[in-house]
Amino acid sequence: MDVANLVKDIKVASHLWIEENEIFPEFIEWQVGYGAFTVSAYEKDGLIEYIKNQEAHHKIETFEDEYRRLLKEHDIDFDEKYLFDE
């Protein structure tokens, strides 16, 4: 499965689940775009730890700054005006 279809399926399914369970009453829709990075299976344990500590990590480096850093580290060209919904 390609990443675009996977993200689409996740957005649709999670949106339906959120509506059915009424857990986020103010939720309207997911943002238009998305970003995806892959990791090796060997990096799984480190990724799990990163996710567990994400709240503390983002007190040090914001999500937006981290995303920009990852794009730059992986030599991905980007236009700032398309990065985040404002």
Domain ranges of the chain: 1-36, 39-86
pLDDT at 86: 60
| Residues whose CB falls within 8 Å of the CB of residue 71, separated by 6 or more in sequence, listed in order | 35, 78
Residue 26 half-sphere exposure, CB side, CA atoms within 13 Å? 0
Rounded to two decimals, the pTM is 0.62
Condensed to tens digits (0 to 9), the pLDDT of residues 10-39 reads 999 999 999 999 888 888 888 887 878 888
Average pLDDT over residues 74-85: 87
Q: In this predicted model, which residue has the larger pLDDT, 83 or 16? A: 16
Residue 84 has pLDDT above 90, yes or no: no
Residue 42 has pLDDT above 80, yes or no: yes
